Structure 1
Amino acid sequence: MDFRRSSASVGPGSVAPGSVAHVPFPTVLASIVGLWVCYFLLTTLRWDIQEIGFAHEMLWRRAAASAAGIAITLGLWVLLRLFDGRPLWSKIAAALLLSAPAAVLIAQANQLAFADMADRYIERLVEQQGYSAHRSESGEILIEVPGIELDGVADEQPDAAAGEPAGRTSSITFNTSSLQGSSWQQLTEVAFGRYFMMLAWCALYLALVTGEKARAAERREGEFRRAAKAAELRSLRYQVNPHFLFNTLNSLSALVLTGKNQAAERMIQTLSTFYRRSLADDPTADVPLREEFAVQKMYLDIEEVRFPHRLRADYHLPAELENFRVPGMILQPLVENSVKHAVANSSDQITITLSAREEYDRLVVTVADNGPGTQGNDGTSSHAGHGIGLANVRERLEARFGDAASLVCGPTEDGYATILRLPIIDQKEDG
Structure 2
Amino acid sequence: MNKLFEDRNRQFWILHTLGWLGFAIVNYLSSLVLDTRDAYLIVISLDAYVGWLLTIPLRYFYRHIWAWEPWKMILTVLVVALLIAMFWTVIRNFNYWEIYRHGYRPSDWLLYIKDTPAAFYVMLSWSGLYFGIKYYQTLQAEKQKSLTAMNKAHEAQLKMLRYQLNPHFLFNTLNAISTLVLINDNDTANKMVSRLSDFLRYSLYKDPINKVPLEQEIYAARLYLEIEKVRFSERLSIVIDVEPGTEKALVPSLILQPLIENAIKYAVAREVNGGEIAITTRKFGHDLLLEVADNGPGLPEIVDSSKTADNKGSGVGLVNTRERLAALYDNDFALVLTQNQPRGVKVNIRIPLQLEQTETKDA
TM range (shorter): 0.5 to 0.7
Aligned-residue offset at 1:288: 1.2
| Alignment pair present for 1:395 and 2:320 | no
Moved more, 254-263 or 404-413: 254-263
CA contact (8 A) 1:377 1:410 kept: no
The residue number in structure 1 matching 2:150 is 230
2:176 pairs with 245, 255, 260, which one?
255
SS in 2 for 1:398: helix
Post-superposition CA distance 1:367-405 (Å, at most 9, x none): 111222575474854787476321111211222222221
- SS of the counterpart of 2:165? helix
Matching residue of 2:234? 309
Instruction: Verify: 1:425 aligned to 2:354, yes or no.
Output: yes
The aligned residue for residue 413 of structure 1 is: 342
Find the aligned partners of 2:165 and 2:134 in 1 and give their Cα distance: 47
| Residue 139 of structure 2 corresponds to residue 219 of structure 1 | yes
Considering Cα pairs closer than 8 Å and 6+ residues apart, tell me whether 1 or 2 has the greater RCO.
1
1:241 and 2:241 aligned: no
409 and 309 in structure 1: CA distance in 2 versus 1, 3 angstrom threshold: same
- Mapped contact 1:345–1:373 kept (Cα < 8 A): no
Asked whether 1:332 is paired with 2:257, we answer yes
Equivalent residue in structure 2 for 1:404, among 332, 337, 356: 332
The residue type paired with residue 346 of structure 2 is A
Secondary structure, aligned partner of 2:331: helix
- The residue type paired with residue 249 of structure 1 is L
TM superposition shift of 1:295: 0.6
Matched ranges for 1:9-88 at <5 A:
none
Aligned equivalents of 2:162, 2:199: Cα separation in 1:
13
Residues 375 and 381, structure 1, Cα contact 8 Å, conserved in 2: no
Q: Does 1:366 align with 2:303?
A: no
In the superposition, the TM-score normalised over structure 2's length comes to 0.56
TM superposition shift of 1:264? 5.7
Q: Which residue matches 2:50?
A: none
Asked if structure 2 preserves the Cα contact closer than 8 Å seen for 1:341 and 1:375, the reply is no
On the 8 A contact 1:377/1:409 being kept in 2, the answer is: no
Structure whose CA Rg is larger: 1
Cα drift, residue 343 of structure 1: 0.8
**Cα separation, 2, equivalents of 1:349 and 1:218:** 51
CA–CA separation in structure 1 for the residues paired with 2:245 and 2:304: 30
Give the counterpart letter for 1:329 in structure 2: L
Q: 1:316/1:386 Cα in 2 relative to 1: closer, same or farther (>3 Å)?
A: same
Higher helix share: 2
The 1-side partners of 2:319 and 2:147 are apart by 22
Distance 1:268 1:226, change over 3 A: same
- Find the aligned partners of 1:379 and 1:392 in 2 and give their Cα distance: 17
Q: Residue 272 of structure 1 aligns to a residue in which SS?
A: helix
TM-score, with length taken from structure 1: 0.48
CA RMSD of aligned residues (A): 3.8
Q: Distance in 2 between matches of 1:228 and 1:382?
A: 26
The residue number in structure 2 matching 1:355 is 280
Q: Residue 306 of structure 2 contacts residue 313 of structure 2 at CA under 8 Å; is this kept in 1?
A: no
What is the DSSP-based 3-state SS (H/G/I as helix, E as strand, rest coil) of the residue aligned with 1:322?
Answer: coil
In the superposition, relative to structure 1, how do residues 295 and 375 fare at CA in structure 2: closer, same or farther (>3 Å)?
A: farther
My pick for the range that moved more, 395-404 or 256-265, is 256-265
String of CA shifts for 1:116-138, please: whole Å, max 9, x gaps. xxxxxxxxxxxxxxxxxxxxxxx
- For the residue of structure 2 that corresponds to 1:282, the secondary structure is coil
Give the deviation of 1:270 after TM superposition. Answer: 1.4
CA distance in 1, matches of 2:282, 2:141: 36
Identity of aligned residues (%): 28
CA distance in structure 1 between the partners assigned to 2:321 and 2:349 by the alignment: 10
Aligned residues: 243
Question: Structure 1 unaligned runs (5+)?
Answer: 1-87, 97-198
**In structure 2, C-alpha distance between the alignment counterparts of 1:378 and 1:282, rounded to whole Å:** 31
Q: Given that residues 375 and 382 in structure 1 are in contact (C-alpha distance below 8 angstroms), is that contact kept between their aligned partners in structure 2?
A: no
Per the alignment, residue 346 of structure 1 pairs with 271
Tell me by how many angstroms 1:254 deviates.
3.7
Conserved? CA contact 2:277–2:292, under 8 Å: yes
What are the superposed Cα offsets for residues 150-208 of structure 1, whole Å, 9 maximum, x if unpaired?
Answer: xxxxxxxxxxxxxxxxxxxxxxxxxxxxxxxxxxxxxxxxxxxxxxxxx99x9999979
Counterpart residue identity of residue 337, structure 1? N
Aligned partners of 2:330 and 2:134: how far apart in 1? Answer: 25
Instruction: Find 1:299's aligned residue among 220, 224, 232.
Output: 224
Q: Helix, strand or coil: the match of 1:319?
A: coil
